[in-house]
Structure 1
Amino acid sequence: MNLPLVTAFIAIFFTQLIKYPISFLFNKKGAEIDIVTSTGGMPSSHSAAVTSLITALIFEYGFSSPHVAIATIFGVIVMFDSMGVRRQSGEQGIVLDILAKKHLQELNQQVNQYNSTSEESYKENPVLNQYDIEDYEHMIIKKYLGHKPTEVIGGIMTGGIVAFVCRMIFN
């Protein structure tokens, strides 16, 4: 059995599953179940996966192994990326969401004015008909893309714990 690979996958699934109860306990607004299948949130499943992989490789090959070196470098890149580029993308997604909703509300106001002043109905105008705020909710921008440093640290700790538990179970 490839224990490092199995451990990394277990870390991903476990981390995704515990996001809901953690969000439920610490989020003032409550928790949404879709956090289990989305990216972002506490703890970082990306960080948990690479940390558990690195830890399992250390157990299997020793700290001085080239496998550990490769996994560590890629792990650092993944964690840095989740806090940097992906986090900024998520923040930009929130801004785009706000702007899009505002724009659609303005368009709906124009449509209502158009409908009240014109004999042509709203449904007969395909250009105006394509901008509907109810349809927007189906193409919602992902808001949880990246991680805060605390979420990455939580993922590191979770990944390490998962690797230790998997080692005890499978060895």
Structure 2
Amino acid sequence: MRSMGESEMSGSPPIQNSRHVHMNYALLSALVAFALAQSIKVFTTWYREKRWDLKQLVGSGGMPSSHSATVTALAVAVGLQDGAAGSTFATALILACVVMYDATGVRLHAGRQAEVLNQIVYELPAEHPLAQSRPLRELLGHTPPQVVAGGLLGCVTAVVVHLISWALA
């Protein structure tokens, strides 16, 4: 029979060894994937348009899809940590599929409709009541290659964060 330590008798939680500090690996993977995807957008915009656009750090749309990177990293991280047979992984996987489907479906087509509506408003005569309305946001969704790139980035990020956390444990 082991004796009770001082922290167990006082009711406070035991002090953990610094090498075994718990971290929310799935959350960290998702946040890192999001930050990487948003950062990469700044460079892809520069490459495509030859201008720096720091608004890409917080904007939606573009290459790669940060939505896809985030939810894929979350699903892969949950799968690596808890196993693919659990309901937590199933939930994360379904969430990832819905988000990626939505990015290439509803949001992409809403952005294309915004382009058409903005063009119609632009061609209205100046005296028309809608002629001075603010343009709609056009970059809402993602093309399939942007979603695939985000998904791949999410997978790689989750695996790298997993390997780093395993090496530090």
The answer for the alignment partner of 2:140 in structure 1 is: 145
Q: How much does 1:61 deviate? A: 0.6
Task: Report 1:91-110 matches (<5 A).
Answer: 91-103=112-124, 106-107=125-126
Task: Report 1:43-54 matches (<5 A).
Answer: 43-54=64-75
Identify the structure with the greater helix proportion: 1
The answer for the alignment partner of 1:86 in structure 2 is: 107
Mark the runs of 5 or more structure 1 residues left unpaired by the alignment. Answer: 111-127
Secondary structure (helix, strand or coil) at the match of 2:84 reads: coil
Higher relative contact order (CA 8 A, sep 6+): 1
The answer for the alignment partner of 1:114 in structure 2 is: none
Contact 2:121/2:130 (8 A) holds in 1: no
Q: How many residues align?
A: 144
Mark the runs of 5 or more structure 2 residues left unpaired by the alignment. Answer: 1-22
AA in 1 matched with 2:135: I
The answer for the alignment partner of 2:40 in structure 1 is: 18
Identity fraction in percent: 32
CA distance in 2, matches of 1:85, 1:132: 27
TM-score normalised by the chain length of structure 1: 0.76
Q: CA RMSD in A?
A: 2.0
AA in 2 matched with 1:102: E
TM-score normalised by the chain length of structure 2: 0.77
Are 2:159 and 1:167 equivalent residues in the alignment?
A: no
Q: 1:7 aligns with which of 29, 32, 35?
A: 29
Q: How much does 1:59 deviate? A: 1.1
